[in-house]
Each structure stands twice: as structure tokens, then as C-alpha cells.
Amino acid sequence: MSDLLRPSSASSTAQSAAELLEALRTAAPLTHCITNAVVTGFTANVLLAVGAAPAMVDIVGEAGMFAGAASGLLVNLGTPTPEQRAASLEAVDAATLAGTPWVLDPVAIGVLPVRTSLAGELADRRPTAIRGNASEILALAGMSTGGRGVDATDGTEAALDAARHLARRHGSIVAVSGAVDLLTDGERVLRLSNGDALLTRVTGGGCALGAVMAAFLGTAGATGTGALDAVAGASLVYTIAAEDAAASASGPGSFAVALLDALAAVEPAEVIARAHVEEGAR
């Protein structure tokens, strides 16, 4: 793969993001989230703001039924209670059977044994996408013991080989979140440099992004968009909105509210004009 930026591929990724945003707002995809207790409300509001329909169904006996009917599924391991662990496995099996795309967010894995074991078990079920910070991606690939809780101690570039390994092993898109987001399907590598540091000062900033990815993946089939461009589209819309929110915010509290407004207001044409996308290995 060329070391140089591929302008045509980069611009087509931004174009796909804009088209998906428009399609998502028309379809309002039902997005099933099994996520952590700290971020449930914020994640639901983010999905509503971008135009999706959230559902936080994490009860054994219902999670599988719902995953089969949803457009997309997020499994986030932030607070993996016994009920959530069982519901996650049930939902993923049902999503796989129904062809529902799903996103795995392996929050804080590495040192913590329960979630680390569960993340490995879920990854073996071939998620459509895996989203995490660099330390989480390295830990999932068995190349590190993880970061400091939910905080990464590694940069995104350090996780490139791990991300490619996971993508090839599980057939997943792997998205490594950081100051520059790194995405790969095992062959193509995208780097997205939109966003703002205030996203790291709000609880659920990354977790909600995983839900937006599930919503975009749940829309992609109707538009013929590939999974890598769908995951990139979610990241671009989310981080461009974060830039707008930061411009009007006075701190983390006002930023969290402004982000919801910005997600509701961002237009497809803005995504095309402002997306910073680079494709190619370095």
C-alpha cells in the first residue's frame, strides 16, 4: 500500500459519510445498545440527536429477540454485570443469525479478568466492528496488558499492527480512537483527524461513538456502503460535531450539551467540506 495520501479514496470516504448521514436521518435505524451504566442516558441522547432510534435492552430473554429485530447492535463492556454478560452473548448470537451488524467496545480490558475473557469470547463471534482506544485494541490482540482503566496509555499508531491483526482474524473493521482515529479492515488504513480534546473530558464520549457506529452500520446495507466507510462515516460525523460543540462550549459540561445540538445540526455538505481523511500505510 502506498505511503502517500490517496485523495480519491479519502474524498469518497467523506462522500459516503455524508450520504449515510442523510440516509440515517430518513431511516431512523433502531439501534440496540447493551452498554455500561455510566453512559446509558448520554448514549441514548447522542443517538437521538444524530437521527437514530435508541433501545437499551440488556435483559436475558429479551436481548436476543431485540437484536434480531434491530438495525444495529452495540455491545459495550464498561460495567459487565452477570446479567449483561449473558445478555451480550445472547444478543450477539441472535444478531449473527439475523445478519444484524454489531459493534464490540472492549472497555478497560487487559488487567481486569472478567471483561477481558468476555471480550475475547465476543471477538471470536466476529463483530462487524471493534472500537476502542489503543491500549484496549492492543490488549484484545494479546499484545499488551491494557491501559489505566478506561484511559489509553498508548498512541493510536502503536496499535496499527494489533488493529490489522484483529481485523484479519475476526473479519472486523477495527477503529482505534485517539487524537487521530485509525481505522482498518486489515488491508486499507484510514486516519481521521477531526475532533476535539473535550471529547476526553466527558464520560461516555467514546462509548457513544460506538453506538453511532452501530447506527451507521445499520444504515449502510440500504445504501450499499462498505463497512469500513460506514464506520469512518460515523467517526467523521461525530468528530466534526465535536469541533462545533467545542467552539461554543466554555468547558466539559456545556460541551456535552452542545455536542447533542451539534450532532442534530451537522449537515452532509459540512461533512464533505471539513472531513480530514488520509488513506495509506506509513
How far is Cα 45 from Cα 26, in angstroms, rounded to an integer?
18
Q: Write phi, then psi, for 197 (nearest 5 degrees).
A: -65, -20
Quickly list H helices, 5-61.
7-27, 40-50
User: Could you identify the residue written with the cell 456545556?
Assistant: 254
DSSP string, 137-163: HHHHTTS----BTTB-SS-GGGGHHHH
First to last CA, the chain: 9
Quickly list H helices, 99-226.
113-123, 134-140, 160-170, 205-223
The answer to whether 12 is a known ligand-binding residue is no
How far is Cα 160 from Cα 174, in angstroms, rounded to an integer?
10
The answer to whether 132 is a known ligand-binding residue is no
Is beta strand 102-105 parallel, antiparallel or unpaired with respect to 53-55?
unpaired
How far is Cα 17 from Cα 257, in angstroms, rounded to an integer?
23
- With 0-12 / 13-18 / 19 or more C-beta atoms within 10 angstroms meaning exposed / middle / buried, residue 40 is buried
Alpha carbon separation from 18 to 74, 132, 157, 161, 270 (Å, rounded): 22, 24, 27, 29, 8
The answer to whether 85 is a known ligand-binding residue is no
The answer to whether 188 is a known ligand-binding residue is no
* 146 in Cβ contact with 136 (< 8 Å): yes
Binding residues for ATP: 131, 177
Binding-site positions read 56, 131, 177, 204
For the annotated binding site for substrate, the residues are 56, 204
